[in-house]
A and B are shown apart, each in its own frame.
Chain A
Amino acid sequence: MGGVDGSTRLPYEKLSRWLSTVEPEFLASRRAQAEYLFRRIGITFAVYGSQEATERLIPFDILPRIIARAEWAQLEKGLVQRVKALNLFLGDLYGPGDILRAGVVPSELVYRNPSFRPEMAGRRVPHDIFVHIAGIDIIRTDDDGFYVLEDNARTPSGVSYMLENREVMMRLLPDLFALHRVAPIENYPDQLLATLRSAAPRSAGADPVSVLLTPGQYNSAFYEHSFLADKLGIELVEGRDLFVKDDIVYMRTTEGPRRVDVIYRRIDDDFLDPLAFRPDSALGVAGLMGAYHAGNVTLANAVGTGVADDKAIYTYMPEVIRFYLGEEPLLKNVPTWRCREKEALAYVLEHLDELVVKEVNGSGGYGMLVGPHATRAQIADFSVKLAANPTNFIAQPTLALSTCPVSVERGVAPRHVDLRPFVLYGPNGASVVPGGLTRVAMTENSLVVNSSQGGGTKDTWIIDDAPARA
């Protein structure tokens, strides 16, 4: 909450004053209660390769992250602009390919991308919408505002934590809420359902049937899948619950087959249909792509959106926005070196100890190098990997990331954070619930906030009235 000059940022003033009035024991007891609640409700995630526990709690911090309404309004505009551009971009990539012919984005970057789906080339999707649900990762630096760190256009997760964090906070710290005017987020599930319904194929009836497709309870995000299906009031289905006949998707129910119009799918393209993609996948539905191409079902998000998630494509997003919308991007990209470019690679290899280097297709914080925190040996190893396959990497500076106060063993300490707001996009327009998932690096000085790397979360408050300076 500290500004560059060490003063308290305006939105945090009430929190700061409140903190000075509570005993350290109070915070400790609330922390313990929060953990108890999360465990009891069963808000867990599975950790791949972790032997001691298949289900783990994500560390939760009980102090809110606070953003003033005016700042949020700016951010919101930028998010909507970005997702609009992403949709036009994907429609173009699988359609006429104008942006490639104009030379704005190199074609080989698109066509050689493993997430590009040749099966989708020349196909229209219902309402021409590819990305119905996007999670845009945002960071802010201490001095000048927000940067986009990453676009998640495939199947962004974490929205259940945004909602549950709020519930737990309202239970534990009602007094703190009373001091603030916090924008509510609980209508997110309603908005999501409305978005899904509006995205149904035109052939669907007036009351389209939506389902949420999960890989099953051993998936790391299964809690979120079941939570969302519950809040939306739609069936949580696995591949084996669905079948396709005459290019129409049905689910198996106790009353016989029932037609499905919209599938909010939380499984990757590769596993959707063993006839079209990986033949060994038992998670998907044989014939689903046939029904999709026939225009009988909407998949949210569409097949092939992953190409826009790519970190190499990310570097072109400002140009992409200018190209389709003729507007200046409202949100900045983090300055990025594309290692596929010779000069950039040379620079990156020279400065590995100051940079963060990421695989273009990596996620969850795997396979990255955080230069300032790496040992000499790690840097040497990594430079070999990088030089061998430079197209696979991008590099970014370690920005002066802003921090938030976090409740720790010995009181309150600053930790690095990022923010993932969720953007919904349908034929009737875009919406962003005022909030998002704030992820926290729970270890001192660490920049890694991914939950698979031990990062935690906290509630995000958009407050209406920035208090006047006392």
Chain B
Amino acid sequence: MLSRTADNLYWLARYMERADFLARILQATRRLATLPKAYGGAETEWESALLSSGAAPAFHAAGLPVDEAHVTDFLAFSAENSSSIRNCIETARANARAVRTALTVEMWEAINGAYLELKAFGQRGGRSSEDLTRFLDAVKQVSAAYDGGAHRTMLRNDAYWFSRVGLYIERADNTARLLDVKYHVLLPDSEAVGGSLDYFQWNAILRAVSAHTAYHWVYRDSLKPWLVADLLILRPEMPRSLLACYESVVQNLDRLGKSHGRHGPAQRHGRAVLGQLENATIESVFHTGLHEFIQTFIADNHRLGALVSEQYLF
């Protein structure tokens, strides 16, 4: 396939996944922000939303106050924030238009529908809380429709594999950031791990990634921070865990390698990262330090993205 097409498909998948993640972050943060002060809410939620989306430096450079209205606008609608939901969807659509031939009708309609929804929302003007809820739900639905459309209708060839590699690299990055932020920023120093604020925050994170029920099925236990970390890092049955994402990344890279008749640096690196995750236990993760572990993972994951670009001539 054309290198440009592969590049577009890869980033298209990443942008759709990122839009979904931003919607989830915003929903979780809104939920946290409704906690009564009596639970010790330190009002760091909006800062943490910025951090986990990776948009904090740009936001602060713009000199905006950290409050619900500004952060929501920046993450969802701002034209200045290159990673806002709006820009994700607009970029995804531009990429999709350029490679219409590589997409199925379902996928194109999902993206184009999202774009029209976004336009309509932008034109309605004032944004009530209810409007925002509807909008965030719509973004999640669109992402699901795109993903499902790809899964159901795409030929299993390189177009599909490049899309999937992009999707899982992005999803792994998102999960890692979410965990990192929770552990180091959200919880004020004075608050005890396992306290009530901590409980609500872990709860919100699980909800953000739709894993609230899954947690109870897997552990049959009350919320424990290390178990949440275990679920989101090492559990193969949890579709958003770093391990599950990497199993999929490696699988799709291998299919690409097989069809191209060549396994290169991208395949080798992906396999190495997967190996590390497979050999880790939650005890060893905490022993290294959760923050350090995750920072290393984020860097490795980023490196894989670069290797894929290099190897397939993007």
Interface residues of B in 1-32 (CB under 8 A from A): 1-6
Q: Which of A24-32, A36-44, A95-103, A349-357 contacts B (4 or more CB under 8 A)?
A: A36-44
A256 to B2, CA, bound (A): 9
A255 to B1, CA, bound (A): 7
Specify which chain B residues have a CB less than 8 angstroms from the CB of A251 in the assembled complex. Answer: 2
Specify which chain A residues have a CB less than 8 angstroms from the CB of B158 in the assembled complex. Answer: 254
- Chain B residues bordering chain A, tally (CB within 8 A): 24
A63 to B124, CA, bound (A): 34
CB of A254 within 8 A of CB of B3, answer yes
Cβ distance B281 to chain A, nearest Cβ, rounded Å: 37
Cβ distance B4 to chain A, nearest Cβ, rounded Å: 6
CB of B1 within 8 A of CB of A230, answer no
CB of B2 within 8 A of CB of A237, answer yes
CB of B97 within 8 A of CB of A254, answer no
Cβ distance B282 to chain A, nearest Cβ, rounded Å: 38
- Chain A residues bordering chain B, tally (CB within 8 A): 23
CB of A39 within 8 A of CB of B4, answer no
Cβ distance B116 to chain A, nearest Cβ, rounded Å: 7
Specify which chain A residues have a CB less than 8 angstroms from the CB of B98 in the assembled complex. Answer: 216-217
CB of A226 within 8 A of CB of B2, answer no
A222 to B101, CA, bound (A): 12
Cβ distance B11 to chain A, nearest Cβ, rounded Å: 14
The answer to whether A236 has its CB under 8 Å from any CB of chain B is yes
Cβ distance A285 to chain B, nearest Cβ, rounded Å: 14
The answer to whether A235 has its CB under 8 Å from any CB of chain B is yes
Specify which chain B residues have a CB less than 8 angstroms from the CB of A41 in the assembled complex. Answer: 105, 108-109, 112
Cβ distance A232 to chain B, nearest Cβ, rounded Å: 9
Specify which chain B residues have a CB less than 8 angstroms from the CB of A254 in the assembled complex. Answer: 1-3, 6, 158, 162, 256, 260, 312-313
**Given A40-B113, A217-B94, A255:B260 Cβ within 8 A:** yes
The answer to whether A240 has its CB under 8 Å from any CB of chain B is yes
Cβ distance B157 to chain A, nearest Cβ, rounded Å: 11
CB of A222 within 8 A of CB of B2, answer no
The answer to whether A147 has its CB under 8 Å from any CB of chain B is no
CB of B97 within 8 A of CB of A240, answer no
Most B CB within 10 A of own CB, among A40, A41, A254, A255: A254
Q: Mark B241-258, 1 if CB is under 8 A from A, else 0.
A: 000000000000000100
The answer to whether A241 has its CB under 8 Å from any CB of chain B is yes
A279 to B260, CA, bound (A): 36
A237 to B102, CA, bound (A): 12
**Given A40-B113, A217-B94, A254-B312, A226:B6 Cβ within 8 A:** no
The answer to whether B100 has its CB under 8 Å from any CB of chain A is yes
Partner of B3, one of A39, A42, A229, A252: A252
A255 to B261, CA, bound (A): 9
CB of A42 within 8 A of CB of B4, answer no
The answer to whether A238 has its CB under 8 Å from any CB of chain B is yes
CB of B101 within 8 A of CB of A226, answer yes
CB of A229 within 8 A of CB of B108, answer no
A393 to B177, CA, bound (A): 67
Specify which chain A residues have a CB less than 8 angstroms from the CB of B112 in the assembled complex. Answer: 40-42
Partner of A253, one of B1, B100, B256: B1
Interface residues of B in 58-74 (CB under 8 A from A): none
CB of A217 within 8 A of CB of B3, answer no
CB of B1 within 8 A of CB of A236, answer no
The answer to whether A227 has its CB under 8 Å from any CB of chain B is yes
CB of B6 within 8 A of CB of A227, answer no
A255 to B264, CA, bound (A): 12
Closest chain A residue, CB of each to CB of B115: A42
**Given A238-B4, A241-B2, A254-B312, A226:B109 Cβ within 8 A:** no
Interface residues of B in 127-161 (CB under 8 A from A): 158
Interface residues of A in 289-324 (CB under 8 A from B): none
Q: Mark A233-269, 1 if CB is under 8 A from B, else 0.
A: 0011110110000000001111110000000000000
Closest chain B residue, CB of each to CB of A55: B97
CB of B109 within 8 A of CB of A40, answer yes
Interface residues of A in 85-105 (CB under 8 A from B): none
Cβ distance B123 to chain A, nearest Cβ, rounded Å: 13
CB of A222 within 8 A of CB of B97, answer yes
CB of B4 within 8 A of CB of A241, answer yes
Cβ distance B268 to chain A, nearest Cβ, rounded Å: 18
CB of A253 within 8 A of CB of B2, answer yes
Specify which chain A residues have a CB less than 8 angstroms from the CB of B99 in the assembled complex. Answer: 236
Closest chain A residue, CB of each to CB of B108: A42
Q: Mark A381-396, 1 if CB is under 8 A from B, else 0.
A: 0000000000000000
Closest chain A residue, CB of each to CB of B97: A217
CB of B100 within 8 A of CB of A240, answer no
A40 to B116, CA, bound (A): 9
A39 to B1, CA, bound (A): 29
CB of A230 within 8 A of CB of B312, answer no
A149 to B313, CA, bound (A): 48
A222 to B97, CA, bound (A): 9
Partner of A230, one of B100, B113, B256: B100
Cβ distance B56 to chain A, nearest Cβ, rounded Å: 33
Interface residues of A in 211-233 (CB under 8 A from B): 216-217, 222, 226-227, 229-230
CB of A235 within 8 A of CB of B2, answer yes
CB of A252 within 8 A of CB of B101, answer no
Cβ distance B119 to chain A, nearest Cβ, rounded Å: 10
Specify which chain A residues have a CB less than 8 angstroms from the CB of B2 in the assembled complex. Answer: 235, 237, 241, 251-254
Cβ distance B309 to chain A, nearest Cβ, rounded Å: 11
**Given A230-B100, A254-B313, A240:B4 Cβ within 8 A:** yes
Specify which chain B residues have a CB less than 8 angstroms from the CB of A252 in the assembled complex. Answer: 2-4, 313
A252 to B5, CA, bound (A): 10
Specify which chain B residues have a CB less than 8 angstroms from the CB of A222 in the assembled complex. Answer: 97
Closest chain B residue, CB of each to CB of A222: B97
Interface residues of B in 84-134 (CB under 8 A from A): 94, 97-101, 105, 108-109, 112-113, 116
Query: What are 19 of the A-B contact pairs (CB < 8 Å)?
Result: A40-B113, A40-B116, A41-B105, A41-B108, A41-B109, A41-B112, A217-B94, A226-B97, A226-B100, A229-B101, A241-B3, A252-B3, A252-B4, A252-B313, A253-B1, A253-B3, A254-B2, A254-B256, A254-B312
In the A-B complex, list the 4 residue pairs whose CB atoms are closest, starting with the nearest.
A226-B100, A230-B101, A254-B312, A229-B101
Residues on B close to A: CB < 8 A? 1-6, 94, 97-101, 105, 108-109, 112-113, 116, 158, 162, 256, 260, 312-313
Residues on A close to B: CB < 8 A? 39-42, 216-217, 222, 226-227, 229-230, 235-238, 240-241, 251-256
Besides A217-B97, A226-B101, A252-B4, 7 new A-B residue pairs in contact (Cβ under 8 A), listed by A number:
A39-B116, A40-B109, A42-B108, A241-B2, A241-B3, A252-B2, A255-B260
